[in-house]
Amino acid sequence: MDTKNMNTKAKKHYAVITGASSGIGKEFAKKLSEEGYRLVLVARRRERLEELASSLKTECKIITADLGRLEECEKLCKELEGLSVGIFINNAGFGDCSYFLEGDEAKEMEMIDVNVKAVHFLTKRILQKMTAQGGGYLLNVASSAGLMPAGPYMATYYATKSYVASLTRAIAQELKEKKNPVYIGALCPGPVDTEFNQVANASFALPGISPKDCVDYALKEMKKKKVIIVPSLAIKGAAAGAKIFPTDLVVKLASYQQKKKRQDL
């Protein structure tokens, strides 16, 4: 599907957005609704989803789910049966900023469940569904953290997002070699002005971009079938530098940036 065909067919397909109740997910819902897509909004907080749905012009189905539990991911896939899914935004996820030895172990395990297990499970199931349909677009929301070798003081978060970026790149190549028309890509933004910091117990060390700018750029590049999408020149430069400079130096610089997010580290 090219951009023109995507817009023409939007009313025939659903766009599914996980983590739709706030931040980037909420902005994806607004933008895709403007493009004419019927929406399936997924998150844990029904009241927020209902508030969002009431502000949008296209049909919205609301599914409450805790994607940290695989049975809830399975439930979501069952509820999507019979729907033509044109776009799937795999957005649910969160981070944490702490000294690894003192970090909240339960929160880290939940982070792995949401950022890795749920993303992996839904990526496989939705790609299988889209392949059977004959096409579709799946965008995994990773992070610029996933393009770096490591992130001290956000060790678990960086590791989970590296998983997402690596998984996406590999699948994209497989689909290309198999001449499968389904698209997969990974959105790897740097700081975005959302509720992420509150959950991560941190504040950005660098200026953030707006969710709208992030989503506008992501959808534009997705329609061009770009596999790794980085919506910031500064972050593109940092990712390029991570490939050029010695790994030890890059990790030290990452440590410096993460410690700036909390005064007690």
Residues 6 or more apart whose Cβ sits within 8 Å of residue 124: none
The H or E element containing residue 152 is none
Q: For residues 201 and 89, which has the higher predicted lDDT (pLDDT)?
A: 89
Q: For residues 21 and 202, which has the higher predicted lDDT (pLDDT)?
A: 21
**Would 110 be classed as within a structural domain?**
yes
pLDDT score for 47: 96
Model pLDDT for residues 109-147, shown as the tens digit of each residue: 999 999 999 999 999 999 999 999 999 999 999 999 999
- Residue 216: pLDDT above 60? yes
Report how far residue 168's alpha carbon sits from residue 186's, in angstroms, rounded to the nearest whole number: 6
- Mean pLDDT throughout 15-40? 96
Handedness of CA 156, 162, 168, 174 (dihedral sign): negative
- Mean pLDDT throughout 56-81? 96
Q: Identify the DSSP state of 22.
A: S
pLDDT score for 237: 67
pLDDT score for 244: 80
pLDDT score for 194: 56
**Would 249 be classed as within a structural domain?**
yes
Q: For residues 240 and 59, which has the higher predicted lDDT (pLDDT)?
A: 59
Report how far residue 122's alpha carbon sits from residue 126's, in angstroms, rounded to the nearest whole number: 6
Instruction: Please list the active-site residues.
Output: 157
Strand blocks (E) in 180-261 = 183-187, 228-229
- Give the Cβ contact number of residue 131 at 10 Å: 15
- Mean pLDDT throughout 141-167? 94
Distances in Å between the alpha carbon of 136 and those of 112, 118, 126, 176?
27, 19, 9, 14
- Mean pLDDT throughout 14-40? 96
pLDDT band of 170, cuts 50, 70, 90: very high
**Would 193 be classed as within a structural domain?**
yes
- Mean pLDDT throughout 73-100? 95
Name the amino acid, one letter, at 234: A
- Residue 43: pLDDT above 90? yes
Model pLDDT for residues 2-18, shown as the tens digit of each residue: 555 555 556 679 999 99
pLDDT score for 263: 65
**Domain count of the fold of the chain:** 1
- Residue 196: pLDDT above 80? no
- Residue 206: pLDDT above 60? no
- Give the Cβ contact number of residue 149 at 10 Å: 14
Instruction: Report angle CA 258, 237, 203 to the nearest 5 degrees.
Output: 25
- Mean pLDDT throughout 24-37? 96
Handedness of CA 59, 220, 90, 77 (dihedral sign): positive
**Would 122 be classed as within a structural domain?**
yes
The CATH number that applies at residue 59 is 3.40.50.720
pLDDT score for 142: 96
Report how far residue 31's alpha carbon sits from residue 219's, in angstroms, rounded to the nearest whole number: 9
pLDDT band of 1, cuts 50, 70, 90: very low
Question: 176 and 159 in contact (C-beta within 8 Å)?
Answer: no
**Would 224 be classed as within a structural domain?**
yes
- Give the Cβ contact number of residue 248 at 10 Å: 9
**Would 179 be classed as within a structural domain?**
yes
Range of the domain at 99: 3-259
**Would 183 be classed as within a structural domain?**
yes
Report how far residue 28's alpha carbon sits from residue 6's, in angstroms, rounded to the nearest whole number: 15
- Mean pLDDT throughout 254-265? 74
Q: Give percent of the chain with pLDDT exceeding 90.
A: 72
- Residue 149: pLDDT above 60? yes
**Would 264 be classed as within a structural domain?**
no
Angle of the 23-34 helix axis to the 211-223 helix axis, nearest 10: 60
Tokens coding 239: 């990712």
- Mean pLDDT throughout 210-223? 95
**The pairing of beta strand 137-141 with beta strand 60-64:** unpaired
